Amino acid sequence: MKFHQTATIGGNLFNSAIKLSGGDRNNVEKVTKFMVDQIKRSRQLWRKEINHWQAARLSRYNVEMPRTWQMQEVYDDVMLDGHLTGITENRTLRTTNKEFIFVNKEGKKDDTCTEYIKDKPWFETILEETHKSTYRGYSLLWLKDYKKGQINDVELIDRRLVVPELGMLLSEFELNKGLYYKDLFPTLIYCQMYDPVGLLEKAAPYTILKRHSWGSWDEFEELFGIPIRIAKVASQSEAVKKEVAGWLEEMGSAAYGVFPIGTEVEIKENTKADAFNVFYQKIKALDAELSKLVLHQTMTTENGASKAQGNVHENTLKELIFGDEKKILSILNHQIVPAMRAIGYNIPEGFKITVSQTKDPNEQIKIDKELMNAGIVLKQSYLEETYGSEIESMPESGKKKEPAQGKL
């Protein structure tokens, strides 16, 4: 069995990678195919609107030939929104920024297998891209470089070329031709936490409407944010009028100007001081809707009304993160671990990946105090690991301690 694998997925079709050299410049067919590939792989950077989102949904839900590239490009565009970026990163980091370990059949940590994934860049990439499937629908991971018992590099395949309903990695966006990625396991690993369309389908209209409000607010600022200056001149000469108009333009934001005698400058300020609230309140409402969509609450990203309400919202977020954690562990143990075994990692049957249950010292000290007051002697190694303190000596376990002396 060949364990060391490197591959290049590219070219006009996967079976024949295209390479252009000096002698190929007159080969019209080859050059055309190469240019088509480059255009197809390039992102469309123009601003997406509601009609683009609707067209993308129509293509995405096509029964006979679903396509994902339009929807994924809409997702790329809406992720430029700062608030949406913040709340999605918040949810992702709360799920992935934990210590993942291997445990044996008895549920105890196995240090040898844990070293396979501990502080490994490829494993961090898998965690991040797997969780991002929550928003984008799916992630197809490519073990770009590996050898027996060692993964060196993992790369995300362009989501625009993946069609989950067909189980295919397309060679071109509009053709039913490509690879069935399930046949290429473990080189290609498909990860999907929730539905294959993704949460950003619902977020897109909010961000597009929000962008409109920002643009309208900007126009409002240009029209009414700066006071209008009107110069009245006694002369009817067009030359004088143009000259005074030029002086007004040259003033810019300066608080002074030099005008000929007989010129009257009038400043008209906007008297509707609260008109900006039309845009500001709409943007706030859209941000709140995005927070509820992604985080299922709002108070962890905005000011809360009370501590009690804040606790309720924080508990709601904890339940959401717990659900994400269960999903990602399921993918790790049913997709990633079998892939690791297939390429030569020595992982015994029954071993699985889980999240290390770190203890909160503030809560744990209350529990430990009750145990010690009951006469239970705690191990030195446990105390050092839990509280990060170096203990020089411990009381002899044979001597009975008074409950009142059981202090940390």
Reported confidence tier of residue 132, pLDDT bands at 50, 70, 90: very high
Q: Is the pLDDT of residue 151 over 70?
A: yes
Amino acid at 395: P
Average pLDDT, the chain: 80
Q: Is the pLDDT of residue 278 over 90?
A: no
∠216-219-225 over CA atoms, to 5°? 120
Interval 164-188 mean pLDDT: 85
Q: What is the pTM of this model?
A: 0.72
Reported confidence tier of residue 213, pLDDT bands at 50, 70, 90: confident
Q: Is the pLDDT of residue 160 over 60?
A: yes
Reported confidence tier of residue 314, pLDDT bands at 50, 70, 90: confident
Count of Cβ atoms closer than 10 Å to residue 238 Cβ:
8
Measure the CA–CA gap between 17 and 115, rounded to whole angstroms.
37
Residue 301 confidence (pLDDT): 65
Measure the CA–CA gap between 192 and 138, rounded to whole angstroms.
5
Interval 52-66 mean pLDDT: 92
Question: For the packed helices 121-136 and 82-96, what is the interaxial angle rounded to 10 degrees?
Answer: 130
Among the listed residues 179, 115, 105, 111, the one whose alpha carbon sits nearest the alpha carbon of residue 142? 179
Residue 397 confidence (pLDDT): 56
Measure the CA–CA gap between 11 and 34, rounded to whole angstroms.
7
Which residue in the block uniquely carries the two structure tokens 């844990």? 114
Residues in the chain: 408
Residue 261 confidence (pLDDT): 64
DSSP 176: S
- Domain ranges within the chain, ordered by starting residue: 228-268, 361-405
Reported confidence tier of residue 174, pLDDT bands at 50, 70, 90: low
Reported confidence tier of residue 393, pLDDT bands at 50, 70, 90: confident
Interval 285-306 mean pLDDT: 80
Among 123-132, 231-240, 285-294, the range scoring the smallest mean pLDDT is 231-240
Q: Is the pLDDT of residue 69 over 60?
A: yes
Mind listing the pLDDT tens digit for each residue in 90-123? 999 999 999 999 999 998 989 999 999 999 999 9
∠73-327-164 over CA atoms, to 5°? 40
Q: Is the pLDDT of residue 210 over 90?
A: yes
Interval 10-37 mean pLDDT: 52
Residue 382 confidence (pLDDT): 77
Mind listing the pLDDT tens digit for each residue in 355-385? 987 666 777 788 888 888 888 888 877 777 7
